[in-house]
Amino acid sequence: MPGPARRGVQWRANRPVQWRAHWAVQVLAVFVAGRLVSTGILLLAAARQGVSPWSGPAPGYGTFINYWDSGWYERIFMEGYPTELPRDALGGVSHNQWAFYPLYPGLVRVLDAATGLGWGILAPLVSVAAAGGASLVIYRLFRLRADHRTALAGVAVVSFAPVSAILQVPYAESLHLLLLASALYLVSRGRYYAAMPVVVLMCLARPAGVPFAIAVGILFLAALRTVRRSAVLGGQAAQPVLPVFLLGVVSSLGAVAWPLIAWAVTGQRDAYVATETAWRGEALVPFVPWFQAPAAVVGPAAAVLVVAGLLLGVVALFLAPAVRSMGLVAGAWCAGYLLYLGAFWDPQSSTWRILLPLFPLALAVAGSRSRFGTRILWVLLPVSVLLQFVWVDWLWGWTPSGPDGDYPP
């Protein structure tokens, strides 16, 4: 007679098998769904597009995604960077390639040397491939703080975000997102030395060195606090202070690497800053633009209230339990990035795209529920798709509405 153990084996053998795809397959399925939605939106917006500086009416998909700064990246791919800064009629520095970091167009150029496929094919492929890799890393980062379903939902928030169409056009955002997510994952795992080369590459993809250095500074202070508290209690702290400090040094050096390279090549010390401010049309004054922009619309008194409201909103954001549950590393990055934007970013229509590196907040959204117990995700995703159409059609598409033609995405 079979014993209890054998009967248990037989019972399990007769149970229906519940098959679930590997986590990577699920993540990539969510990512592909997001890209299909973005592709449909881009095609619809292209069909509605009139004559623009880059094409005639109703351009094809490949032409439409090469609008705006994609042209600057293609110019770097074709020509590199000027050794002498171009000047306008008044002698000021005019728009040029030094405002754009070299890793993305450089990678496309290396692949073109190996394959000969050209910018039109390789640039979008690199963007999509990097975004797909970023989705996988973002999932692994979210899994450090949440279960599978919540982490997967967080990936969906990123994949269907209102600006997620930028992940498949020839911009550096996808590559930067991959490197940023990888750096945050490695730091969250305590692999500080492994994160250092990733941070260096990230600082050559987008200007992320300053906010990342701020984030590491927050982690360093937290590590020092843990060490001091442990010393008072007579124990041994597990926080590695030296690796965090060295990562901060690497991040700081990465932050100044591109401006130093621009100086070395052009012979002008402020080559990078002068190029950046050529788009602003005025000198860079930290924090002031966030007051000037609303003051120009609603007046100085109301602008004070607007800025105060923004500050209170940021404080409330970081006090929210869902945001605090992201962990110290993700929270430090979001805090550092917001401080960086407050100090150096000029609020404009491109601000929505610039908020993409705050992707860790997607985990907080994915885990949130309404007071009726339903996930906010089921409301957020359809709204995000609608807002994505608005972003693509109004900002990516060209409509001569501003004094200089149109507002950039």
Residue in the structure block whose two tokens are 């609008």? 67
pLDDT at 372 over 60: no
Q: Which residue has the higher pLDDT, 240 or 147?
A: 147
Among residues 320, 319, 333, 324, the alpha carbon closest in space to that of 186 is found at 333
Q: Which residues contact 132 (CB under 8 A, 6 or more apart)?
A: 28, 31
Which tens digits make up the pLDDT trace of 112-165? 999 999 999 999 999 999 999 999 999 999 999 999 999 999 999 999 999 999
Q: Which residues contact 47 (CB under 8 A, 6 or more apart)?
A: 58
pLDDT at 231: 65
pLDDT at 1: 44
Which tens digits make up the pLDDT trace of 5-37? 444 444 444 555 456 789 999 999 999 999 999
Which of 38-42, 89-93, 212-216, 229-233 comes out lowest in average pLDDT? 229-233
- In percent, the amount of the chain with pLDDT more than 70 equals 90
Give the whole-angstrom CA distance, residue 152 versus residue 158. Answer: 10
pLDDT at 402 over 80: no
pLDDT at 2 over 70: no
Residue 400: both structure tokens together:
């001569």
Angle at 377 between CA 375 and CA 378, to 5 degrees: 85
pLDDT at 185 over 90: yes
Pair 139, 23: CB distance under 8 Å: yes
Which tens digits make up the pLDDT trace of 280-317? 877 878 899 998 888 888 888 888 999 999 999 999 99
Does this model's pTM top 0.85? My answer is yes
Mean pLDDT across 203-217? 97
pLDDT at 53 over 80: yes
